[in-house]
Every structure is written in structure tokens, then in C-alpha cells.
Structure 1
């Protein structure tokens, strides 16, 4: 992920439109993708950061059933809530594109091309069936055939392995657990993943060092087994109608929509800033050489890491392939998984209504579940952000204000030593952004605050170069923090502070003031809480 003018497409896992985003969601792909996108933009790279709602998922059906509302209404209200939350968090997307006729046309064209190229195969499979409907994904619950844990259909959230068709043990209907489940044969279209084994092996061998260990371990486990057929069509009623004569009345399997869906959302996002393209897949075409990066959770490694990769490979060399999948673990709430059904959660929107979003972004970055499960609590947010961020940051801001008041209007010279110290900080933070690792970046920023606050407090009206070096290092710190602390960064940028990460350190710098951070007073007189 080197700097330069190469375009980048950053994709966050498509949220299911069956509810809003809680803090666990936000601490995963959405904040990480946003920070990485902002970092790339600060280095001068053209970036599109995008996602779209996953309206075809069966979890829309199950949630709508539980709430007693039509699925269409649930999709609409959930999409509005998700978009409000992304905006409130400062996520740098153009918005959520409409799931309209152009969307459905894009999805169908993607699979029609595979059908015409002979990539799809007819298979007769056994499918679970209850109450007049075939069961799949969220419509089905049972026991994972790999880890023997509880699992929905399609993929196990715990171990990450897929369980297609009749593989789930002890299957039960989610909508009616008491209904007897039988199996019926159906002929569907599939994409045989095994036919792409050689290309997959070479792909992962070239990128193994760039994946986080847990996700790559799952990929190795999957490649050590016969690779499954990817369902492309399915006998269902909720989703995009399959356009193939061999499978009348079937839908496109919801999980295969992701690739054409995010191609469409990339096209739509580019159009919002005035970029026009004749086809929705234009930005993903291989000849443009975009850097493609996915952000998602461990439970989506099979889908985003393998299934979707094969869908791209099946188009030959038409599309760019992802350079890395950034996979996070689960973010827990006071020692337990976030759970909507148990009301054990904190909605992101509720937290942002009580806590300045720079503090929320910093705390989620510092405690992000990058390599193992981590834990969120309101008490920890209050204590950690106060001690590690707000107090030293504001001490630095106050000391710098006093220094700037006596610095005069003329630019201050900087020394070679000061420029080198600023470059070292930027280089250290750059390594964290390019891994990417929010935890490393947030920790580095917090670790440098105390030292700069002490230097600013000890500064006098003496050597102008010493003052220039101080402002230069603070500017470097602010530029490094800008992708996370977006509000203080915007305030500083509006005041004329250069927050770019592309140019060499200047020989002189104007004095400036550092915006202060607002404090958080949450969990005492507010409604933010954990659990029921």
C-alpha cells in the first residue's frame, strides 16, 4: 500500500438492512475503513470508500417476522438509520446508494456474463424445507458440522466454515422452531470453487504476509479441504430474481450479490462527486489498476476472502483483485458479545449523542479487535480518553497557545533536528496506517502527547528555531491524528494548518493554535448504558 497517485477503492462489509449499527459494528470495518481512506487521501491518493446495504439477506425476513413489520419497511427504516449513524460518526462515504433497478441490473449483468461464458453449472442438491419454503442462511439454525457449535445456515459465525445445502446438523426453522424440517431436491446453478484452486493457491501465497493470522488460518483450513460449490441461484422469494431459463422462479443467492453490489456502490459514489462512467463496473476494471482493500469481520472471511474472490476470478482478467482483506475479531461489551435479541448493546447513535465523536473514534481505534477479541465499556471510554487523550492534548493546546501569543507574526525557522523528529513521527504512524492498525496509530499518538506537552510548557521566547521545531512537531502530530480525530483536524485545517502527509518538512512554519478537545461526561446522568 504505497503512496502515490494510484487510485484506491476501499470497501466495508455491506451492512444488512435489518437494524441500525451498534458500537460493535462500528469498531470493526466501518471506522477502520474510514481511517485508512482518510490516510490515503492525506497522502494525495484518489480514494473511493464505499458500501451499500445488503437488502436481499434472509436476516431481513427473520427480523421483520420478529418485529411484525413488512420486510420492505424494515429495509427502508434500517437504511435511513444506518446512513444517519455513518454520517454522525463522520464516515467519509458519499452515502448509501439506492437499491433500485440500476442496482438489480448491475447484479444480473455480472452473473449473466458468467452464465454466457459457461462458468456456471447445474447441480441437483438436497435443501432443508419447512412450512412450504426452502430454508437457508438466517432462515435456518442448527449445529455447525465443523466445530459443533450453534450456527445459522450458510456459514458458522464461530469457526467461519461454510455449511451449504444439507450440511448443517440438527436443522430447525428460525421462523417456526417446532415445524418439522425435511429435505427436498432442487436443481440450482452453482459456481464450482474447486475449478479455481490453482489460482487461489497462488493468490494467497503471494499475499499471506499481509493477512492477519486468524483469517489466514481459516483460509488454509478451507484450502486443505475440497472447496465447495458456490450457490448462485436458490429457490426463494426475497431477493433479486435470477435471469436464467434453467432456474425459473429462483432468486440469486444473497451472498453472491456482494461483488456486483459494491461495484455498483463504487460507481454511484464516484458519480456523487461528478465522475461519470458508462458501466457500473468501470472503476473495478483491471486496466485501471486500482488498489482494492476490503474491511470486514472474521465471520465474513469465507465470503469476502474466498467466495467473492472466486466470483472475480471467474470473469477472467477483467477485474482487479483485492490486495488485502483487513479482518477484525469480535468487539465485546463488558465481556459478552453484542446482542440485539438480548438487548446487550449500545447503539452507535446513542453513544455519539453523549460523547464527542473524536473521543469515540479514538477509543474505538485504541481498543479495536484487530488480532483478538477486545472489550468495550462506558467506564473505560470515560477513563481512557480522559487520561490518555483529552488531558495531555488540552495541556499541549494551552501551552502552545501561550507560546503562539509571544511568537509574533513572522514565520519561525525550523532546524534539521526538528524536521527529522517530525519525519520520524510521521514515518512511525505511517507504518501503522499501512498495516493497517488503528490500535498502533492511536497508541503512538497518545504516547507522543505527554512529551510534546512538556516541551511546550517549558518553551520560552528564546531560540526561534526551538519554537519552530515545537510547532513543526505539533503540526506533524495533528496531521498524523487527523484521520482519527476528524473534528479537531477540520478546525485546524479551517485555520490554515497544513495537514497533508505528502510534502517534506518545511524550513519555516507559522505559529498556530491547537484546537482543544471536548471532554466526555457519559454514563452518569445520561441514557447510555450496557445491557437490559
Structure 2
């Protein structure tokens, strides 16, 4: 059933860690998918906020900065600027990255302080790994070892391979990431936690309603987590990089970075939508349950535990104050030469490197076509030109040339009649695109495949036209094609709409259509059309 066209939507892509620029593994995952979904909803008239913000408090920022010999504040600032440029270069329509300043920190502190005041947090004496020579407690990016669930190499917090948490002293073969030779031992420390088991009944009910629409791998992980005891969520940890914990029970500790994700998303929603009109004490207005907002997360499999369980408990702990996510759209890893992209190993390709000679629409198409939705897929720079040329550019330009040829013929009126059959086919095109735009079936890969299939079919139809008969039926279908492709081929759609292909409802199938020409696509290596927008 189509969503209420008046219902507001908040779309959140996983918050990027500012310990370096984004690479194509990041961009091909949550950021492009969320952008396409947001653009589709906007095209239907829905009020949409698509947002994210950097998670500056992550220990990975501190670890990377120390490896590079730079202050972590400097690394976070330069990385945030690079991330913003990368998102803009690929046309990711978040409207910018919000500053991590006083309002951000106040939003986070207010969010957790409300839980403390309501008695939701508990003191726990836990064992944390401790680097003896460095004199620091280890968590997340400061820690490496072996996952106790799948025996893969893992950082602290959660395992990238199997997705299971390894909180506190559960990681095996532990090492200090910055100095593997520094002896590591468990030491007891008292922290504040949010006990997850108390939310089991509510979690079970939520998952019963929502996970049937999740992708299978994420759904399986949730089932595995529910089958055992649920780990307490650390709220504070002993550390120096992050937001100081505001609680008298934990002097000198910081807030655990992962519990910032929900107040961070609340803050970035406010910043993106109404920072010029809403007071700072109303930052969470767009997340309150009374708004009936459709909240959708886009993230990678390695974040299912955090975005699919930890963050859900963080919202539930506030009672009925906040909306809960309607969907979690999870992608797998995008690989390069058979291994996942890795900033630390410099095994990566940056978006700007490919965009130097690949038009943005073609890169978006290729990333969508090869998106790692249900399993790992591979970015192949050598194969990209031939794939986009054969699947999109050549048939698109054949269609453009054939349409030009027909319209150049004498006697073509300014408006062309479309038969009932032509309008039916246009509606079918719109319906096929809509199938893959809407949840839970949303799929970048199927969208790109549908686009390639319809372009090829319409090119053949255009080349078979004799005279001007049937031109209206062709044009009404091309109109539906452009509307369906618009959230993906953003630059081409902008040109087409400027040339008259848009309108109040470009996906509709009217009885007469304007005799318009289809803008051609530039191939790999071509310079951008000067008419293209910056983002």
C-alpha cells in the first residue's frame, strides 16, 4: 500500500567516522542507497529529511590520529571536510554535514541525562582490557583480537565478520591496537550501563513486526542475538577522547561513543530541517512519537547490532517519547580485488578518483548495478566503462538518436497523441520502478537493471518506427522512463526536466505529450555538460 503522501520521513545514513575520507565502499553502501530513496520520496511530494553527521567521538579517530602523529581534532576536522566533498561530488542530497559543536554536545548530554534521571541506567563493575605500559583502558578501535563468536580478527565493540558484540573483556587474544607489544590485562572498573534484557519483550514484539521486511543476513543476526543473553550497553567508559560523562557516579569517564548515534541523528535532523526556525531546546521535535514520522536507517551489516538493537533500546528507554524506525536497510561489504575496502591498509578507491573521467550519473548507475545488497560484490574499475556503455550509454543514445530522427520528419505536431496501449505501457514502466523504490523491496540493483532493460527496449521500439505513427506512444513511455530514472541519474534528469520533460506528475501517462527530444548521455572519459548542476 502506498505511504501517506503527507507523512514526514526522516532518512538516516550511518554516521561516518572522520578518521579519513570516504571511499567507494562507503559510498556504494548506505549513502547512495539512502540518497536514491530520499529523492524518490521527494518526487512523490513527501516531506523528507535525509541526514547524517560525523561521529567524532569514535576511538578510531583517536587511534588513526596517533598513528599519523596529528592531533585528533585536526584529523576530525580535515576528514569531515573531505567527507562532505565526497558526498557532494556523488550528488548525495543530505544538504551538508552539521557542525559537531555546543548544540550537538548538549543534545547528547540531555538525551542520556534523561535516562539517568528516570533511573534507566545501572552501575556495573566490569572487566575492561587495560594496556599496562600505556596506562589506558581499551575499547573499540583501541583494541584488536579474535571474535569469540566466529573466531575472525576483530576490533572491540562488535565483529565486522559476524556482527556479534564483544563487549567488555569478551574479545580473545587481545592486543592494544597502537602497540601490540604492550601487555594487556583485564581490570575492573565501575561504569554506567543500560541493561538490555529489560527490553527483551518489547524488542521481541518490535522485531516480529519489522524484521520480516529486513534483508536476510540482518534478520538472522537479530535472531542469533535474541537466542542468548543480551549484553548490557555501556553508557560510560574510562577514556579521554569524547564527551565527558555528566554523572557523579563516573567521574573522569566519557560517554561511550556508540550511545551518541541516536541523539546525534536527532540533532542532525533538526540541523537539516529547521535550524533556522526551531529553538535549540526543541531539537528532538521531529523525532517525537506524535509526529508519526517514518524513520528509516541505511547502514552496513557491521552496524546491524548498533543500529538495529543498541539504538532501538536507546529510543525505547525514553518510554513513548520517540518514534521507532520503520525499516533498517542493510548492505554487505563492497570489495576491491577480492578484499573489502580498507582505509588502514590503503586498499581503496576514492570517489573523486573515478569521477575524474566517469560522469557522475554513470558512476551512480554502476554503483547501483553492483551494489552489495544481499552479498558481497566487487568494484571493477577496468570493467566499469564497458558495463555502463553497453547497459546504459549505447542504448540510451540509440533511443535519443532515433527519437531525433522521427521528430525531424515533416509533419510532427507540437503535441502527440498517446494511445491507450502506449499509456498502459508507460504506467507499467512507472510501476516497475516504483516496485524497487518502495520498502521493503527497495533495491538499487533492481532499479539499475530495470533502467537498462527499459532503455534497451525503448531504443529498439524507436528504431522500428516507420514515419510518425506511434511517436506519441514512444514519447509517453520515455517520459515515464525519465521520471523513474531521475533519483539515480540526477544530472541527466535535471537537463531533461529543464528541457520540458518534467511537470507536476512526470510519471503520469497523459493522453497527449509534448514532442520533446531526449538529452544524450556522455560516455566514460567525456567532460561534463556545462549545464549540469554542481550537486
Q: Verify same fold: TM over 0.5.
A: yes
Q: Call closer, same or farther: CA 1:499–1:174 in 2, change over 3 Å.
A: farther
| Offset of residue 404 of structure 1 | 2.7
1:483 matched residue in structure 2 = 487
In the alignment, the residues of structure 2 paired with residue 502 and residue 285 of structure 1 have an alpha-carbon distance, to the nearest angstrom, of 34
Where structure 1 has 5 or more consecutive residues not aligned to the other structure, the ranges are 523-532
Q: Give the superposition deviation at 1:294.
A: 0.4
What TM-score does the superposition give when structure 1 sets the normalisation length?
Answer: 0.95
Please give the TM-score of this superposition, normalised by the length of structure 2.
Answer: 0.95
The equivalent of 1:445 in structure 2 is 451
**Paired position in structure 2 for 1:520:** 524
Q: CA deviation at 1:183?
A: 1.8
Pairs within 5 Å for 1:460-499: 460-463=466-469, 466-498=470-502
Cα shift at 1:410: 2.6
Taking the TM superposition and a 5 Å limit, the aligned residue runs for 1:451-462 are 451-462=457-468
How far the C-alpha of 1:334 sits from its partner, in A, is: 2.0
The alignment status of 1:398 with 2:398, answered yes or no, reads: no
Q: Deviations over 1:442-482 (max 9, x none)?
A: 1011011111112212224443xx21111010010111011
Q: How does 1:84-163 map to 2 (within 5 A)?
A: 84-130=85-131, 131-163=134-166
Q: Could you tell me how far apart the structure 1 residues matched to 2:245 and 2:406 are?
A: 67
The answer to whether the 8 A contact 2:121-2:194 is kept is yes
Instruction: Give the 5 Å matches for 1:412-431.
Output: 412-431=416-435
Q: Does 1:33 align with 2:40?
A: no
Give 2:81's aligned residue.
80
Q: 1:228 aligns with which of 227, 231, 249?
A: 231
> Which residue is 1:527 aligned to?
none
After TM superposition, the structure 1 stretch with the greater mean CA deviation from structure 2, 448-457 or 513-522, is 513-522
CA contact (8 A) 2:362 2:388 kept: yes
Query: Which digits, 9 at most, give the CA deviation of each residue in 1:224-264, with x for residues without a partner?
Result: 00001000011111001111111111111000100000110
Offset from partner CA, 1:471-529 (integer Å, 9 cap, x none): 0100101110111100000001112212665764211110111111111149xxxxxxx
* 3-state SS, counterpart of residue 144 of structure 2: strand
C-alpha distance in 2 between matches for 1:476 and 1:405: 22
Question: Unaligned stretches of 5+ in structure 2?
Answer: 527-535
Distance in 2 of aligned mates of 1:112 and 1:500: 47
Label 1:44 to 1:337 Cα distance change in 2 as closer, same or farther (>3 A).
same
List aligned pairs for 1:115-514, cutoff 5 A.
115-130=116-131, 131-271=134-274, 276=278, 279-406=282-409, 408-434=412-438, 435-463=441-469, 466-498=470-502, 504-514=508-518
- Cα distance between partner residues in 1 of 2:365 and 2:259: 34
Identify the residue that residue 529 of structure 1 maps to in structure 2.
none
SS of residue paired to 1:379: coil
1:184 and 1:288 map into 2 onto residues whose CA distance is: 45
Deviations along 1:66-120, whole A, 9 cap, x unmatched?
1111100000000000000100000011100000000000000000111111111
2:530 maps to which residue?
A: none
The verdict on how the C-alpha distance between 1:382 and 1:398 changes in structure 2, with shifts beyond 3 A counting, is same
Range with greater deviation from structure 2 (103-112 or 401-410): 401-410
Alignment match, 2:2:
2
Does the aligned pair in 1 maintain the 2:422–2:473 contact within 8 Å?
Answer: yes
Contact 1:479 1:500 in 2 (8 A): no
Measured on the aligned residues, the alpha-carbon RMSD in Å equals: 1.4
- CA pair 186-501 structure 1, distance change in 2 beyond 3 A: farther
| Matched-pair contact (CA < 8 Å) for 2:483–2:507 | no
Q: CA 1:342–1:441 in structure 2 vs 1: closer, same or farther (change >3 Å)?
A: same
Task: Note the C-alpha offset of 1:42.
Answer: 0.9
